[in-house]
């Protein structure tokens, strides 16, 4: 579906844009101008206001891959309310009403059904409302609580609350203020050259920050957003052939699938933004040689996506180099050549804090600094390298081993495609390495290459060749499944 062309509504999200052109597009062929979107958002905002939604209140909303997600973004921005997007499968209905269910303008009351994890999310953020579905013309809205008891009317109130697993795996959610969103979008749009007349194809989930941010960036730039219901190589190839796609966001397995399918980048494409996980050197080189304008990026939910992005320049470049941080972003880390340590980040897009029932800012921050679990270093020219996660460091025979660095070296082996390294418990060495990989090279041959090219602690002892690496629904490599595979292969070590 296309949205754009005309003048957006007068909310904090769309007001900065005063140009023309652009549209948001869906696979169904619908075409909305920004004026169309403004009218739909006005009606949705009025519906929400009639239901009792007030500024500063949180609406938990299942977000499906369609234009109604954009309507909800703009409607809540008009109200000054807070969007907390969740996947459409997280709830099969509305949660138990703690006050009352609201069904304005003829909507039907529904018997509530809720997953325990959705109920925990509502409690964690102190959400006032849950919407049954963002895709319905008149979704059922349920009151779920009275919200925080302290004064939520702050100078820079939350605009979004977005879930993030965090390095410990404990469910958390980042509170992102209006200024966080505006700062991030403005800086990213300038770094990537997004402007009115451009079109960003979005095939990432709209309830994760990588997909969610695209709708805000495009609205603020006056650019088009073309929405796809998930990733499909044939659907992308068709749009590449008939649309003027200028920007595209992918995780590495999606990029690999396009290359495997022989899909070429369209001539109009200026940015293929690759994020979500480390990009392997072999895949980066392969994409560059096929003509893809690859941009390597680093960011997280807590920073509303990117804090650094750079164009990958082919042979000799390292995909661990994510370039200089965006203007105004401070990064505290080791110099390259020193022992890496976890990054600290401070800047205008860093979250207001982790969500809590009182919506108190500052949780998870120290003097505005966000401590990450990502290991990194800075070059003398200011460019940032991401070397892996502190909780991924393996100790093998008393030596600290970073799996991401091993994966980067394995990419030099002939006949290897994707590779992911995991640790396996070992009775003598503490841990040893297992590599799960794709490609033509046989395990015995890869073992021989590793013996010749890698030092002992970095040399895998277990080789698992697969047609494809296991993936999460988001398209990222499933590291947990990899560890299970490695543990099964390493039984008896």
CB of 292 closer than 8 Å to CB of 272: yes
What sign results for the dihedral spanned by CA atoms 82, 85, 88, 92? negative
CB of 366 closer than 8 Å to CB of 353: no
Architecture in CATH for domain 393-489 = 2-Layer Sandwich (3.30)
pLDDT digits (tens, 9 = 90+) for 366-400: 999 999 989 999 999 999 999 888 777 888 877 87
Q: How far is CA 380 from CA 336, 377, 384, in A?
A: 8, 10, 10
Say if domain 1-388 classifies as CATH 3.40.50.12780: yes
Query: Distance between CA 457 and CA 461 in Å, rounded?
Result: 10
- In this predicted structure, what is the pLDDT of residue 40? 87
Q: What is the pLDDT along the chain (493 residues), one digit of tens a residue?
A: 444 433 333 466 664 444 444 566 666 667 788 888 888 889 999 999 999 999 999 999 988 777 888 888 999 999 999 999 998 754 444 444 444 344 443 333 333 334 557 888 888 899 999 987 655 555 667 877 666 655 445 678 899 999 986 444 567 899 999 999 999 999 999 999 999 889 999 999 898 999 999 999 998 898 999 999 889 999 999 999 999 999 999 988 889 889 999 999 999 999 999 998 778 787 888 999 999 999 999 999 999 999 999 999 887 788 889 999 999 999 999 999 898 889 999 999 999 999 998 889 999 999 999 999 899 999 999 999 998 887 778 888 778 788 888 988 898 899 998 898 988 888 677 788 999 999 999 999 999 999 999 988 899 999 999 998 888 766 677 888 888 888 888 664 5
- In this predicted structure, what is the pLDDT of residue 290? 96
- In this predicted structure, what is the pLDDT of residue 377? 93
> Six-digit token pair at 10?
């007068």
**pTM beyond 0.85, yes or no:** no
State the virtual CA torsion across 375, 379, 382, 386 in degrees, nearest 10.
Answer: -20
Domain residue ranges in the chain: 1-388, 393-489
Contacts of 331 (CB under 8 A, 6+ apart): 307, 308, 325, 343, 344, 345, 376, 378, 384
Query: Each residue of 334-344: b (16+ CB within 10 Å) or e?
Result: bebeeebebbb
Inter-residue long-range contacts of 443-447, CB under 8 Å, 24+ positions, other chains counted? 445/415, 446/410, 446/413, 446/416
**343: alpha, beta or left, given left = phi > 0 and alpha = psi -120 to 50?**
beta
Contacts of 408 (CB under 8 A, 6+ apart): 280, 281, 318, 319, 320
Contacts of 379 (CB under 8 A, 6+ apart): 321, 336, 385
State the virtual CA torsion across 225, 228, 230, 236 in degrees, nearest 10.
Answer: -100
- In this predicted structure, what is the pLDDT of residue 165? 61
């Amino acid at each position: 579906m296309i949205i754009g062309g005309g003048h957006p509504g007068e909310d904090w999200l769309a007001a900065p844009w005063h140009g023309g052109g652009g549209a948001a597009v869906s696979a169904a062929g619908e075409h909305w101008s920004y004026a169309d979107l403004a009218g739909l958002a006005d009606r949705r905002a009025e519906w929400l206001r009639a239901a009792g939604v007030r500024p500063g209140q949180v609406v938990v909303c299942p977000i499906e891959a369609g234009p109604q997600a954009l309507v909800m973004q703009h409607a809540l921005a008009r109200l000054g309310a807070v969007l907390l997007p969740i996947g459409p499968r997280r709830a099969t209905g509305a949660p138990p009403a703690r006050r009352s269910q609201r069904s304005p303008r003829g909507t039907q009351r529904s018997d509530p059904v809720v997953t325990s994890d959705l109920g925990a999310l509502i409690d964690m953020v102190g959400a006032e409302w849950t919407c049954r579905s963002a895709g319905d013309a008149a979704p059922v809205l349920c009151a779920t609580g009275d919200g925080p008891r302290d004064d939520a009317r702050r100078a820079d109130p939350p605009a979004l609350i977005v879930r993030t697993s965090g390095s410990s795996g404990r469910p958390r959610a980042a509170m992102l203020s209006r200024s966080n969103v505006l700062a991030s979008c403005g800086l990213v749009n300038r770094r990537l050259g997004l402007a009115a007349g451009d079109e960003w194809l979005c095939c990432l989930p709209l309830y994760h920050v990588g997909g969610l941010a695209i709708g805000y960036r495009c609205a603020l730039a006056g650019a088009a957003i073309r929405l796809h219901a998930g990733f499909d190589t044939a659907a992308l190839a068709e749009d590449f052939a008939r649309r003027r796609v200028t920007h595209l966001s992918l995780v590495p397995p999606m990029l690999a699938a396009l290359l495997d399918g022989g899909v070429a980048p369209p001539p109009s494409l200026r940015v293929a933004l690759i994020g979500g996980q480390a990009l392997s050197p072999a895949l980066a080189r392969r994409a560059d040689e096929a003509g893809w304008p690859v941009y390597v990026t680093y960011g997280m939910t807590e920073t509303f996506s990117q804090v650094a992005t750079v164009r990958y320049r082919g042979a000799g470049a390292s995909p661990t180099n994510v370039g200089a941080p965006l203007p105004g972003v401070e990064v505290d880390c080791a110099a390259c050549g020193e022992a890496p340590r976890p990054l600290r980040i401070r800047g205008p897009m860093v979250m207001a804090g982790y969500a809590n029932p009182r919506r108190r800012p500052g949780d998870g921050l120290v003097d505005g600094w966000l401590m990450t679990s990502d290991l990194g270093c800075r070059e003398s020219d200011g460019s940032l390298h991401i070397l892996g996660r502190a909780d991924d460091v393996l100790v093998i025979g008393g030596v600290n081993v970073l799996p991401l660095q091993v994966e980067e070296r394995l990419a030099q082996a002939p006949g290897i495609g994707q590779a992911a390294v995991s640790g396996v418990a070992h009775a003598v060495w503490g841990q040893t390495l297992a590599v799960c990989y794709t490609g033509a090279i046989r395990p015995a041959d890869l073992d021989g290459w590793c013996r010749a090219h890698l030092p002992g602690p970095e040399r895998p002892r277990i080789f698992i060749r697969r047609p494809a690496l296991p993936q999460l629904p988001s398209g990222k490599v499933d590291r947990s499944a990899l560890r299970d595979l490695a543990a099964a292969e390493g039984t008896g070590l």
